[in-house]
Amino acid sequence: MARPMQVSRHWRHFKEKYRLMGGRCKNGHVFFPKRSVCPVCGSREVEDVELSGRGKVLSWTIVRNPPSGFEYYKPYPLALVELEEGPVVLAQLTDVSPEDIDFGMEVEVVTRKIREFEEDGIILYAYKFRPVLK
């Protein structure tokens, strides 16, 4: 099983763990995750941009045979979510029954537990998407 990242790396990437941080180039292209070069136009003038975390489900699948360390969650939905700003994110859906998922369903980002390392007691958190609360 893979080990958790070092403490220094964890703090360097803190804002990416609890918010959706993407990039925007000088020409206005928005992308996720942030890269040093725009994938659309090749610009190297890229700034951080906090994405809204709201979007719509483009497609999804149900994971019934998960990778090692994720057996606790099976079966779980994995979706392609198109964010309001345009980028498409692959993420786990939470707080929804698989039969309630539909194309175009509005979702929002939440921070949830991803996995736990039993021998160390370390819990890793990251983003997932849930249906928008009305």
> How far is it, in rounded angstroms, from Cα 37 to Cα 124?
29
> How far is it, in rounded angstroms, from Cα 86 to Cα 40?
13
Residues 6+ apart with CB under 8 A from 128: 91, 92, 93, 94, 109, 110, 111, 112
Question: Which pLDDT score, from 0 to 100, does residue 89 have?
Answer: 94
Domains in the chain with CATH codes: 7-51 (no CATH), 52-134 (2.40.50)
Q: State the 10-residue block means of pLDDT for the chain, 134 residues long.
A: 54 61 95 93 95 96 88 88 95 94 96 78 85 88
Question: Which pLDDT score, from 0 to 100, does residue 105 have?
Answer: 97
Residues 6+ apart with CB under 8 A from 67: none
